[in-house]
Each structure stands twice: as structure tokens, then as C-alpha cells.
């Protein structure tokens, strides 16, 4: 992963795998903090209280906050393979939890590694992997006479509109790749003949309107 990219999951995903009557159900999700990751694992545990194991792994803040758990499976057979799936996909801000319903037949260490990693990989595939570039969050306040043209120009630029407020003026908040931010701000200034109020709120990596930790 280059310094300019942030690779994470596009949404929550699920994967299932059955091996010798043991069922493995994996859940993957993007997360913004380590606390989010822990809460996600807790929600999976609560959903599957009758499962024999709830194995998990997560990586946040470029791997600075990283953890995995075998949850009673033989050491190295479960949590570490799930973390390997996260690392091999170059994911950051990601958590995977895999529950196992025991089918009565021992799988051995190799079988467990394949099952846990296979279910985790299926969940990642279902969630989708996205590569985010560094972006600027910008707020523009314009009069109603200019608002339609402003919104059209912002949308045409490839920016992602996060919110719109309609009061005395129209206020749009959006994110745009940082290398396009200056030219877009200049274009909006020209479009409104200097009447728009444009503020750069910050810079970072954004997913679904929230800033990801770096």
C-alpha cells in the first residue's frame, strides 16, 4: 500500500464455509477506531451466543492497533489466519469475526487454518475492497440563484456530497481528491462571481462521510 492510498472494506460482508459438518460464518466490516472493532466483535458474539467459537482479527491505524484471538481454538489455527487475510489484502480499518458451529469431527490445525481463512476471504470478497485517495472536505455556502449550478459543478467534478443544508442560503459539504481541490474551489468562485463562501474543513481519508484514522 502506498502512502497515498487507504485500502479498506467498502461495506459489511458475510462469508460461509462448511467443512466436515462444522459451519464457519464470517463477518467483515470497515471500522473507524479500535473501539468500533471491539464493538463489532461483541455484536457478532451476541448474534451467535450458541456458537462454540468466535474468532476475530482487526487492524486499525496502519496496523498500529492490531489484535487477533483464537477464542479457544488451537494456537495459531484461527485468529492468525484471519489476520493474514486482512494483511494480504492490504486492509486498514477492518475487522473480521468468524463464528464456528462444531460439527463433531476434529479438523486438525491445517483444516482449521483453511476453514477460517476461507470463510474470512469470502466475507472480504462480499464486502468489497476499496482504495481511497487522500481527499479534502470542503464546505460551500451559496445563494439559491447559484445553488443549482454549484451542485452540478461539484457533482461533475467527481466529488462526494456528504450533506446539504437549506436555510437563508444553500450549504453543501463534500469531499474531493486533494489534487483536485484547488481547481474546484477556483471554478466555484468563478461560477458564482465571488459570491460563494468556500471553506476547506480538513484533509484525510473519508468513507461514508466519516474520516478514517491514519
Q: Which among 129, 154, 169 is the end of a domain?
A: 129
161: domain CATH number is 3.30.70.240
What CA–CA distances, in Å, run from 206 to 5, 8, 30, 56, 77? 11, 11, 12, 25, 34
Check whether 135 has a pLDDT greater than 80.
yes
Query: Both 11 and 51 in a single domain?
Result: yes
| Count of domains observed in the chain | 2
Query: Both 54 and 124 in a single domain?
Result: yes
Query: Both 12 and 58 in a single domain?
Result: yes
- In tens, the pLDDT along 8-54 reads 999 999 999 998 888 999 999 999 899 999 999 999 999 999 999 99
- In tens, the pLDDT along 149-159 reads 999 999 999 89
pLDDT band per the 50, 70, 90 thresholds, residue 91: very high
Mean pLDDT for all residues in the chain = 91
At a CB cut-off of 8 Å and minimum separation 6, what does 56 contact? Answer: 41, 44, 68, 69, 71, 79, 82, 95, 96, 97, 98
Q: ∠ CA 178-182-187 to the nearest 5 degrees?
A: 130
- In tens, the pLDDT along 100-110 reads 998 877 778 89
Query: Both 142 and 53 in a single domain?
Result: no
- 133 — alpha (psi -120 to 50), left (phi > 0) or beta? beta
pLDDT band per the 50, 70, 90 thresholds, residue 63: low
Cα gap 116→15, rounded to integer Å: 10
The whole-number average pLDDT for the span 113-139 is 95
Helix, strand, coil: what percent of the chain each, to 5? 35, 40, 30
* pLDDT > 90 in the chain, percent: 74
Query: Both 113 and 149 in a single domain?
Result: no
What's the domain range around 59? Answer: 5-129
Buried b (16+ CB within 10 A) or exposed e, 40-57: bbeebeeebeebebbbbb
pLDDT band per the 50, 70, 90 thresholds, residue 1: very low
Query: Both 150 and 122 in a single domain?
Result: no
Q: Which among 102, 129, 156 is the end of a domain?
A: 129
Amino acid at each position: 500500500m502506498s502512502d497515498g492510498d487507504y485500502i479498506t472494506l467498502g461495506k459489511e460482508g458475510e462469508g460461509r464455509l462448511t467443512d466436515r459438518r462444522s459451519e464457519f460464518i464470517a463477518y467483515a466490516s470497515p471500522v473507524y477506531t479500535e473501539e468500533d472493532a471491539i464493538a463489532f466483535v461483541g455484536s457478532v458474539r451476541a448474534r451467535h451466543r450458541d456458537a462454540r467459537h468466535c474468532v476475530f482479527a482487526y487492524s486499525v491505524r496502519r496496523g498500529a492497533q492490531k489484535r487477533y484471538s483464537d477464542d479457544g481454538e488451537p494456537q495459531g489455527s484461527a485468529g492468525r489466519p484471519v489476520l493474514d487475510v486482512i494483511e494480504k489484502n492490504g486492509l486498514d480499518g477492518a475487522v473480521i469475526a468468524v463464528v464456528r458451529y462444531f460439527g463433531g469431527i476434529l479438523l486438525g490445525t491445517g483444516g482449521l487454518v483453511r476453514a477460517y481463512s476461507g470463510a474470512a476471504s469470502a466475507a472480504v470478497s462480499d464486502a468489497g475492497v476499496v482504495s481511497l485517495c487522500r481527499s479534502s472536505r470542503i464546505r460551500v455556502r451559496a445563494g439559491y440563484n447559484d445553488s443549482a449550478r454549484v451542485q452540478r459543478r461539484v457533482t461533475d467534478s467527481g466529488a462526494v456530497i456528504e450533506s446539504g443544508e437549506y436555510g437563508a442560503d444553500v450549504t453543501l459539504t463534500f469531499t474531493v481528491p486533494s489534487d483536485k481541490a484547488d481547481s474546484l474551489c477556483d471554478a466555484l468562485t468563478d461560477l458564482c462571481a465571488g459570491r460563494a463562501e468556500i471553506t476547506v474543513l480538513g484533509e484525510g481519508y473519508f468513507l461514508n462521510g466519516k474520516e478514517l484514522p491514519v
